[in-house]
Amino acid sequence: MYDTVLRTAIHHFKYRKQMGVLAEMDLLLEKYFAENPGFCQGFTVAPIPLYFNKMKERGFDQAFLIARQAAKVLNLPLEGGLLRRVNATSPQATMTRTERARNIKGAFEVNRSELVAGKDILLVDDVFTTGATVNEATKILKKKGAGKVHVFTLGRVVVGKGSGL
């Protein structure tokens, strides 16, 4: 359940900069992908990017680190700079679904169109809550000619029904 150990691990990683959590996440990724052979074969892995100032403040990009490990375990190419966050958005943790969608609208641009056109993309983020962030990123990728866009997150918050993975 996301409310328990995984949530704590993600929060320690993301907000307390406890990078040792990455080793445990590696084990989770290896187990998950071993149980799902062929997952997204032929795809390019791309993280949901942080805005430059947030990256500078935090010192790392958690989605990039998760994407890097997923790409390694899946033996897929990683394009860390495929998307660029062009707008500083407010933290979405306490926002409603509608507020999140409005907050994230126009936040992304494709950095390298030639790496998107005709490609299948596996977008990676840490947590999926309402889908506003990945929906906005997917929309931008599709406008630039991406084929399939799939999403992988470590956690999933089920809004209004408790939490779960």
Domains of the chain and any CATH numbers: 2-156 (3.40.50.2020)
Rg of the Cα atoms in the chain: 15
Name the token pair of 58: 């935090």
Query: CA angle at residue 150 from 129 to 56, to 5 degrees?
Result: 60
Model pLDDT, residue 14: 66
pLDDT at 54: 80
| Mean per-residue pLDDT pooled into runs of 10, the chain (165 residues) | 62 66 76 84 93 81 89 92 87 80 90 92 89 93 96 75 40
pLDDT of residue 33: 83
Bridge partner residues of 44 (DSSP): 121
* pLDDT for position 15: 64
Q: Where are the beta strands (DSSP E) in the chain?
A: 44-47, 83-85, 108-110, 121-128, 149-156
Q: The sheet that has 149-156: what strands, in order across it?
A: 44-47, 121-128, 149-156
Q: How many CA atoms lie within 13 A of 21 on its CB side?
A: 20
pLDDT at 34: 84
Q: What is the pLDDT of residue 165?
A: 35
pTM: 0.81
Q: According to the model, what pLDDT value does residue 103 have?
A: 86
